[in-house]
A and B are shown apart, each in its own frame.
Chain A
Amino acid sequence: MRRTTTRLLPVALAATLFGAAACGGGGGSGTTSDGRTVVKIALWNYQTTPEFKALIDGFEAKYPKIDVQPVDILADDYPDKVTTMLAGGDKTDVLTMKNVTDYARYATRGQLLPLTGAVAGLPDKSAYAGLADYDLAGQYYALPYRQDFWVLFYNKKLVGDADVSHLTWSGFDSLAKQLTKGSGASKTYGTYLHTWRSVVQAVASAQTGGDLLGGDYGWMKDQYGIALDVQKAGATLPFATASSQKTTYDSQFTTGKAAMVPMGTWWAAALLAEKAEGKNPVDWGMAPLPQTTADGKTVTFGSPTAFAVNKKARNADAAKQFVEWASGPEGAAVLAKIGLVPSYHDSSVMNTFFGVRDMPTDATSRQAMQPSKVQLEMPVSDKSSDIDQILTEEHELVMTGEKSVDAGIKEMDHRVKTEVQ
């Protein structure tokens, strides 16, 4: 009998361990050993995205009885991972909403806790840029803490005396060609147009009024003409190369390979952080995004980033406290201090922003931060993710020269009308 017990013991132990492992997913205590309330927050690339640490440190300094713990996820995998986590009943308290399309998905499925009461209690809603984008039939399930929009980053040394303060897209095209120098490994490109479809499509939508969900995309034609012309002239790294090499926009700019890069304002914080670490020697500035028409207005596109509370949060009250603090004036001050554009804005926040060490403070950079209109990058709809897929696929084909602009647009029209029900 003793021998049987000896044989069974390791097996029983293995079974127990297996059971414990199987039941342990998403577990963890709601408090720390010293009694502090734990708030877990899903976020991406914690080490290289300075905003998260800044916000967590700022919040914990004010509320020492709450321990905010990051759940770090790779940026590229973030939406898929969060979707899977929520499907599995994960109890992570705060969820960062990377874009409004994902927010709409989670909110309409009932996976987020309503924050409508918190919004109703705000003294001045107009001070929160992007807040309206989270309005789902009068209900709010997230509060924005960042409001990024696209500007034109430029390398002061490479651009030289050229005036980038009021560029049209045709002026940008000419300047990019003019700034392109050298050949082979020592070639300097006039610009770098990243592979995201927004670089062409969202620009065109914002500046021509075209509807990205409409199924009629003729309004993209001129913007594709510019992007392809720049590429054909060799003034940007070809789309096919950037795509197959998985080139990052940061590497093109910080190594001095590209003189001008249209990109979102979030990049300023990363460039400053790199400079502080001695990794980025580029002297850079910001200019308004080039425009389709030279009417003096600056129309750009952007997307707010928000925090939401998981409906299954273990510590919902503390999680709400974090979300409200991060999106409010105190969170905004923390973000502005590291060079990010917070959703909450007032004059002191912008002064803080331009007071950051090494932040360009020239008139053109200040002008870039005050666009006339910021359009949402992708309208919120239950069809957004399907349409985004189609537009991305066709964008790739047009930019790699597999399809003409007309054929690509025709296919977008056809597929959105027939495939998205």
Chain B
Amino acid sequence: MTTVTTRTAPAPTAATRRRRRRNALVGWSFVLPNLLGFAALTLVPVAGTFVVAFTDWDSYSSPKWIGLANFRRMRHDDNFWTALQNTCWYAAGHIPLTLAASLGLAVLLNQKLRGVGILRTAFFFPYVTSLVAVAIVWNMLLSPDIGPVNQLLRHLGWSHPPGWTTSTDWSLPALILTSVWRDMGYYMVLFLAGLQTVPAELYEAARMDGAGPWARFWHVTMPGLRPTTFFVTVMLTISSFKVFDLVQVMTEGGPGRSTLVLSQLIFREGITHGRFGYSSAVSLALFVIVLAVTLAQFQIQRRSER
């Protein structure tokens, strides 16, 4: 027979309570500036967007409550649907290509090769370069008549190479190409970190079972990288739907509306045309889309873990 005795904690003394309060106060005082910053620069503007989306505010005169009119207008706005379509196409190209390129690079540069450090730095370098500089350089590289890319393509026998940023068919692929080139180094670093967490014993065991390089990649590396892949996919999804700066500098949404994306439409409606109400409504739509896609990804991840 076993006797179980429970010991109750002694009641805190006044000095302990004072110490706990003081510790709590110190803790709060450390997070308070950050919380204030978050509230002032993120929480309040986001909450404001929710309210402004139901008004016809022009940023200066008093806002007028118009209910769902902005959202009804969105349904019939050709620019909105074009921007949504372009954003989805951009995401559909940017996410898988960046994922594949960064994973491939990480696996390649995870080997013990000579000069691997230099190569890792070289691939990471575009990410820390000013995006405006990247956009300008790629605009020059992809220039239809005198750009080196088309000169090379002509040399290889393609007599009428793409107009890239000046062609409605190729402008979005040109943007995707540029953004993949810029982002792959950053996500490569994340995958490299993920690869360090895959136990070497698993590779050993697989090798002893006669698994070749591909089998080891599919059955050891990929499952081991699942959390990193999920994180990278979520981050890529969010950044793809929010893309703005690269498009603004490289094509300004053109030619025509072929690269008009949702973030650009938000900027254009609010700042250029002074329709902050409608601009906020489009922001809200973008927020809902990104939230829905991200939640769906979490759901899929949860299911695959079961």
A residues with CB within 8 A of B: 4, 7-8, 11-12, 14-15, 18, 22, 79-80, 83-84, 86-87, 105, 109-111, 238-241, 243-246, 385-386, 389, 393-394, 396-397, 400, 402-403, 415, 418-419
Contact = CB atoms under 8 A, between A and B. Distances in A.
Given A8-B26, A109-B58, A109-B60, 15 more contacts: A7-B26, A22-B40, A84-B271, A87-B276, A239-B166, A240-B143, A241-B145, A244-B142, A244-B144, A245-B139, A245-B140, A393-B255, A397-B168, A400-B163, A419-B77
Contacts of B274: 83, 105, 109
Contacts of B114: none
Given A110-B61, A402-B255, A244 B147 contact: yes
Contact of A244 (B60, B143, B271, B273): B143
B60 A240 contact: no
Contacts of A243: 165-166, 255
Contacts of B60: 86-87, 109-111
14 contacts: A7-B29, A12-B29, A87-B60, A238-B144, A243-B166, A244-B147, A245-B146, A386-B273, A393-B253, A393-B254, A396-B166, A396-B256, A400-B167, A402-B168
B272 A385 contact: yes
Among B79, B146, B147, B256, chain A packs the most CB atoms within 10 A around the CB of: B256
A366 B55 CA distance: 54
B59 A240 contact: no
B29 A11 contact: yes
B25 A4 contact: yes
A260 to B, nearest CB: 21
B151 to A, nearest CB: 12
Contact of A83 (B59, B77, B142, B253): B59
Interface in B160-193: 163-168
Interface in B185-232: none
Nearest to A15: B33
Given A105-B274, A393-B254, A397-B255, A11 B165 contact: no
A393 B146 contact: no
A393 B258 CA distance: 10
Contacts of A18: 33, 36-37
B143 A109 contact: no
B78 interface: yes
Nearest to B58: A109
Contacts of B271: 80, 83-84
B268 interface: yes
A42 to B, nearest CB: 15
B100 interface: no
A109 B271 CA distance: 14
A243 B78 CA distance: 25
B154 interface: no
Contact of B146 (A241, A397, A400): A241
Interface string B233-271: 000000000000000000001111100000000001001
Interface string B47-84: 00000000000111100000000000000011100000
A396 B255 contact: yes
A240 B79 contact: no
Contacts of B272: 79-80, 83, 385, 389
B39 to A, nearest CB: 11
A386 B278 CA distance: 14
Contacts of A244: 139-140, 142-144, 147, 164-166
B116 interface: no
A244 B272 CA distance: 23
Contacts of A7: 26, 29
B137 to A, nearest CB: 11
A4 B33 contact: no
Contact of A240 (B25, B163, B268): B163
A348 B200 CA distance: 88
B32 interface: yes
Interface in B29-48: 29-30, 32-33, 36-37, 40
Contacts of A402: 167-168, 255-256
Contacts of B22: 4
A82 to B, nearest CB: 10
Nearest 10 CB-CB pairings of A with B: A87-B59, A240-B166, A396-B255, A11-B29, A397-B256, A109-B60, A244-B143, A400-B166, A241-B145, A80-B271
Given A15-B32, A80-B272, A385-B272, A109 B142 contact: no
B107 interface: no
A88 to B, nearest CB: 9
Contacts of B29: 7-8, 11-12
Nearest to B274: A105
A11 B33 contact: yes
A111 to B, nearest CB: 6
A4 to B, nearest CB: 6
Among A8, A109, A240, A386, chain B packs the most CB atoms within 10 A around the CB of: A240
Given A4-B26, A83-B271, A110-B61, A396 B33 contact: no
A204 B61 CA distance: 37
B136 interface: yes
Given A87-B59, A105-B274, A15 B78 contact: no
Nearest to B77: A419
A11 B36 CA distance: 12
Among B61, B164, B274, chain A packs the most CB atoms within 10 A around the CB of: B274
Contacts of A110: 60-61
A246 B26 contact: no
B139 to A, nearest CB: 5
